């Protein structure tokens, strides 16, 4: 194998925007991230669930309006 072709593997710090610092090893001495496991909503229990039933109801209401409008247009066209 060729000598001196691999990057140096050094002790590293991962710094989050929330202030959390994680010690690890990497080819870069400092890694800055925007979100980590200490501030991510999924891991902290702050996750908000989307009301999918409400979205389905809204879709069905829009679909009913569209179908009613199409039926009214079809009856108007038949009368002509």
Rounded Cα distance, 44 and 37, in Å: 8
User: What tokens appear for 76 in the block?
Assistant: 């108007």
Q: Can you give the pLDDT at residue 50?
A: 67
18 in Cβ contact with 12 (< 8 Å):
no
Alpha-helical (H) ranges within the chain are: 41-44, 52-79
Q: Does domain 10-68 have CATH number 3.10.129.10?
A: no
**CA-based angle 38:13:43, to the nearest 5?**
15
Q: What does each C-alpha distance from 60 to 49, 56, 65, 70 come to in angstroms?
A: 21, 6, 9, 15
29-61 confidence digits (pLDDT tens): 999 998 888 888 777 777 776 666 678 888 889
Domain locations in the chain? 10-68
């Amino acid at each position: 194998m060729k000598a001196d072709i691999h990057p140096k593997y050094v002790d590293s710090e991962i710094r989050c925007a929330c202030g959390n610092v994680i010690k690890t090893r990497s080819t870069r001495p400092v890694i800055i991230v925007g979100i980590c496991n200490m501030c991510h909503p999924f891991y902290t229990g702050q996750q908000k669930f989307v009301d999918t039933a409400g979205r389905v109801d809204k879709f069905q209401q829009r679909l009913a309006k569209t179908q009613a409008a199409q039926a009214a247009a079809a009856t108007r066209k038949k009368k002509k």
